[in-house]
Amino acid sequence: MARQGSSAPGTPPPAGPYTPAVRIGSIVAGSGQVGITADGLVLDGVAAQTRQAFTNLLAHLASAGASAADVISVRVFLTDVEHFDAMNEVYREFFSDPYPARSTIYVGLPAGLLVEIDAMAVLSNDGS
């Protein structure tokens, strides 16, 4: 099976040599997304950045044929443990029970960025 890359219009361009979403067969991997708008604006606060990161990530997954319902695993990278509750509130806007498996890791990110999120999705056998 060939690796197919995709990118959603209206999202920020990649900041390096990577593809925003890659699909092989029924598996779709979404690269880490941050709280930056398509025009390069870094949003204020972890809630706004989390919402934008998920918006960007789900748009890229959709460009490869996946939806939020197909997401099986999410990794959230936060710069501050104090942001965990605010991130969780926004997380619930995008997913419902049964939630995807998730890891939350505390990291350093470039100045002004508070959260980065990536995901893995698996499409149903019929490709939808």
Q: Which option is the CATH number for 20-122: 3.40.1030.10, 3.40.190.10, 3.40.50.360, 3.30.1330.40?
A: 3.30.1330.40
Of the chain, the percentage scoring pLDDT greater than 90 comes to 95
Length of the chain: 128
CA–CA distance from 69 to each of 4, 27, 46, 110, 120 (Å)? 21, 13, 24, 30, 11
- What is the tens place of the pLDDT at every residue in 32-67? 999 999 999 999 999 999 999 999 999 999 999 999
pTM: 0.94
Cα–chain center distance at 122: 15
Check: CB of residue 87 under 8 Å from CB of residue 115. yes
Strands 115-122 and 4-6 turn out to be unpaired
Nearest Cα residue to 121 out of 69, 55, 77? 69
